[in-house]
Amino acid sequence: MSQEKSMEFGIVGLGRMGGNMARRFARQGMKIAVMNRSFDVTEALVKETGHLACVDYTSLVTALEAPRIVWLMLPAGEVTEAALSALLPLLSSGDLIVDGSNGHYKDDRPRAVHCAQFGIEYVDAGVSGGVWGLENGYCIMFGGSDAVAGRLQPYMQALSPTPTTGWLHTGPVGSGHYVKMIHNGIEYGMMQAFAEGFALMKDKSDFALDLAAISELWRHGSVVRSWLLDLSAEFLAEDQIFDGIEPFVADSGEGRWTALAAIEQGIPAPVMTLALAMRFATQGKNDYAARLLAKMRQGFGGHAVKEN
């Protein structure tokens, strides 16, 4: 591998988000170092973008010019912790680590303290945009010192929809992941409201409502217009039945953390909390309770129960 010394920025983790972020940097004319657990993924991306391929953490750190910026786009929790443990002994004082996972904000301050023992600064970045971020840009909320915010500015501008919109230094370490956690809790509530509303309209068979036409109508001038509605209108135009879709909706850690934060802070957040509970219900976690309810109803009223 070439020992190129013209870069300060590298990404670790080239999944759906990290890979597209690297592609967006390339489109902005920025060359970076990239690394992934599976090197074939790294090689394929480098052929496409012209970035510098790194086979491991040592080669990544060697390839970057100090002071370095290493952005981790890895699963939250143990995988990110393992990456930090591997990187810290290799980096130098003045380097910067950005955790772009959907991590818990309570983990960020202890991590920042640990990194500081090596003279390394730590930033927590919440990244929204999903698979559309490559084309539309990402929404990034990040916590850290004012000094690191200045260092990250050109990279935030490259990733965001425009140089002045879509990114924000939210405050001290931990604030980026906290704001992203709340963002995802709101997302849960919005999705649940749309799902319930369209289910009600689908059930009103005597009106024979065209859900595709209604969703398209609401996209123009309505107070409920949003990107979620745009996406809903797109797939409703193709299919309004969804016979091939299993009624199972996963939940991320951030939805649960938002509900817990509401309890800890004593702030009522019933919409977000109930939206999370509805996701649990789709995962079969309401099945036993529903069976017990049916038996209770049979017990006191003699109502029939449906048997498998």
pLDDT-based confidence at residue 4 (cuts at 50, 70, 90): very low
Which CATH superfamily includes the segment(s) 7-172?
Answer: NAD(P)-binding Rossmann-like Domain (3.40.50.720)
Nearest to 159 by CA among 106, 80, 68, 98: 98
For 233-271, how does the pLDDT look when each residue is reduced to its tens digit (9 = 90+)? 999 999 999 988 889 999 988 999 999 999 999 999 999
- Say how far apart CA 205 and CA 217 lie, in whole Å: 20
Three-class SS of the chain:
CCCCCCEEEEEECCCHHHHHHHHHHHHCCCCCEEECCCHHHHHHHHHHHCCEEECCHHHHHHHEEEEEEEEECCCCCHHHHHHHHHHCCCCCCCCEEEECCCCCHHHHHHHHHHHHCCCCEEEEEEEECHHHHHHHCCEEEEECCHHHHHHHHHHHHHHCCECCECEEEEECCCHHHHHHHHHHHHHHHHHHHHHHHHHHHHHCHHHCCCHHHHHHHHCCCCCCCCHHHHHHHHHHCCCCCCCCCCCCCCCCHHHHHHHHHHHHHCCCCHHHHHHHHHHHHHHHHCHHHHHHHHHHHHHHHCCCCCCC
What pLDDT was estimated at residue 1?
A: 38
Q: Is the pLDDT of residue 106 over 90?
A: yes
Nearest to 9 by CA among 141, 134, 98, 114: 98
Which CATH superfamily includes the segment(s) 180-298?
Answer: N-(1-d-carboxylethyl)-l-norvaline Dehydrogenase; domain 2 (1.10.1040.10)
- Say how far apart CA 154 and CA 197 lie, in whole Å: 42
Cβ 276 vs Cβ 189: under 8 Å: no
225 φ, ψ (degrees, to nearest 5): -65, 140
What pLDDT was estimated at residue 303?
A: 87
Catalytic residue among 180, 285, 295, 306: 180
State the pairing for strand pair 121-128/139-143. antiparallel
What pLDDT was estimated at residue 252?
A: 82
Q: Is 48 a catalytic residue?
A: no
Instruction: Give the distance, in angstroms, between the CA of residue 210 and the centroid of all CA atoms in the same chain.
Output: 32
Catalytic residue among 187, 202, 238, 295: 187
Q: Is 180 a catalytic residue?
A: yes
Q: Is the pLDDT of residue 274 over 80?
A: yes
CATH 1.10.1040.10 domain span(s) along the chain: 180-298
As a whole-number percent, the residues of the chain with pLDDT over 90 amount to 91
Considering only the C-alpha atoms of the chain, give the largest distance between any 2 of them, rounded to a whole number of Å. 79
What's the whole-number mean pLDDT along residues 276-285?
94
Which range has the worst mean pLDDT, 55-64, 275-284, 296-305? 296-305
Which range has the worst mean pLDDT, 131-145, 164-178, 181-195, 289-303? 289-303
For 29-64, how does the pLDDT look when each residue is reduced to its tens digit (9 = 90+)? 999 999 999 999 999 999 999 999 999 999 999 999
CATH 3.40.50.720 domain span(s) along the chain: 7-172
Amino acid at 243: D
What pLDDT was estimated at residue 3?
A: 42
Neighbours of 94 (CB within 10 A): 11
For 56-85, how does the pLDDT look when each residue is reduced to its tens digit (9 = 90+)? 999 999 999 999 999 999 999 999 999 999
Q: Is the pLDDT of residue 205 over 70?
A: yes
253 φ, ψ (degrees, to nearest 5): -60, -30
Q: Compute the half-sphere exposure of residue 32: CA atoms within 13 Å on the CB side of its CA.
A: 29
What pLDDT was estimated at residue 6?
A: 61
Nearest to 72 by CA among 91, 90, 99, 102: 99
Cα–Cα distances in Å, from 224 out to 150, 191, 251?
A: 36, 12, 23
Residue-averaged pLDDT of the chain: 95
Residue with tokens 């009600």: 200
Angle at 198 between CA 194 and CA 204, to 5 degrees: 155
What's the whole-number mean pLDDT along residues 108-132?
96
What pLDDT was estimated at residue 253?
A: 87
As a whole-number percent, the residues of the chain with pLDDT over 70 amount to 98
Cβ 87 vs Cβ 70: under 8 Å: yes
Cβ 3 vs Cβ 52: under 8 Å: no
